[in-house]
Amino acid sequence: MSGDWKQLLRPGVTLPFCPGCGHRILLRHLLTAIDELGLDIDRMLFVSGIGCGGWIPSPCINADTLHCLHGRAIPFAVGAKTANPSLTTLVVSGDGDLADIGGNHLIHAARRDMDITVICANNMNYGMTGGQVCATTPVGAVTHTTPSGNAYRPFDLCALVRAAGARYAARYLVTQGPQLVSAIKKAIGIKGFSFVEAISPCPTQFGRQNRMDNVKDVYDYVESLVVSREAAAAGTATTRGVTLVTGEFENG
């Protein structure tokens, strides 16, 4: 452990995220987890699809990265892991990439217990392409394609992958740094399919379209959607349109 997550950044890289983007914070937590585990980055592979979330590994991380077709990060990762089982293989990508266009790959990789870790940067919209609705957009949220508010329930991604057989799933806000770092470390250590969902605010697209005029408003909004596992179990939690339960979820 070096204690300096920045030494895992690709030298000279300019981080490609807007000011206030949660993906930038997730990148920091991911690299902190890898540093704290003392992993050899040369024995790791990072795979991503298309989107701002897909930029987290490539160009940012100084390691082998596969920046794949939109929605196809998981099959590329499964192929690489099958060819070289000694590689610690992580998929890091957006909610649209993993749960919309790539949703079938996600559930089947969980069902088949593929030995990979999937980290989903969930910003509740397609950030890169202008802020369209996606499978994780809260009910009522305004997006480029739902100007009157989204009518449909979002996926609970942790419940989805658990139902499909994932050994481990966890969900935290990017502002819950210690919990998120710990969850990423645990997920990487699991033999079999593991999943970490980071709720990662997008001020530029989601925030603007929902009339959140500054970055803090977007972070306050996502905090208003989450409840801890303990509060959810006690039945004391109420949220609007969607309840995102934070915590760790393990299958026996």
Ligand X SMILES: Cc1ncc(C[n+]2csc(CCOP(=O)(O)OP(=O)(O)O)c2C)c(N)n1
Q: For residues 139 and 205, what is the distance between their CA atoms, to the nearest angstrom?
A: 17
The answer to whether 95 contacts Mg ion (rule: CB under 5 A) is yes
Q: What is the distance between the terminal CA atoms of the chain, rounded to a whole angstrom?
A: 31
Residues 110-139 that bind ligand SF4 (CB under 6 A): 123, 127-128
The candidate with the shortest Cα–Cα distance to 126, out of 154, 153, 152, 100, is 100
Q: 95-114: which residues touch ligand X (CB under 6 A)?
A: 95-97
Q: How far is the CB of 29 from ligand SF4 (least distance, A)?
A: 15
Cα separation of 214 and 189, whole Å? 38
CA gap 187, 6 in Å, rounded: 21
CB of 21 to ligand SF4, least distance (A): 3
Q: Does 90 bind ligand X (CB under 6 A)?
A: no
Phi, psi (degrees; rounded to nearest 5) at 197: -105, 120
- In terms of DSSP H, where are the helices of the chain? 22-37, 73-83, 95, 103-111, 157-164, 177-189, 208-209, 215-225, 229-234
Q: Identify residues 98-127 at the interface with Mg ion (CB under 5 A).
A: 123
Relative orientation angle of helices 22-37 and 177-189, to the nearest 10 degrees: 50
Q: Which of these segments, 90-98, 176-184, 215-223, 228-236, binds ligand X (CB under 6 A)?
A: 90-98
Nearer CB in complex with ligand SF4: 88/123: 123
Does 94 contact Mg ion by CB under 5 A? yes
Q: Are 148 and 3 in contact (CB under 8 A)?
A: no
Query: Do 236 and 159 meet the contact criterion of CB atoms below 8 Å apart?
Result: no
Based on the shown chain and the rule CB under 6 A, indicate whether residue 53 belongs to the binding site for ligand X.
yes
CB of 72 to ligand SF4, least distance (A): 20
List the interface residues with ligand SF4, window 169-228 (CB under 6 A): 202-205
**Residue 128 binds ligand X (CB under 6 A):** yes
Q: Which does 70 bind (CB under 5 to 8 A by kind): ligand X, Mg ion, ligand SF4, none?
A: ligand X
Q: Which residues bind Mg ion (CB under 5 A)?
A: 94-96, 123
Q: Which residues bind ligand X (CB under 6 A)?
A: 50-53, 70, 93-97, 121, 123, 125-129, 134
Q: Which residues bind ligand SF4 (CB under 6 A)?
A: 17-18, 21, 23, 52, 123, 127-128, 202-205
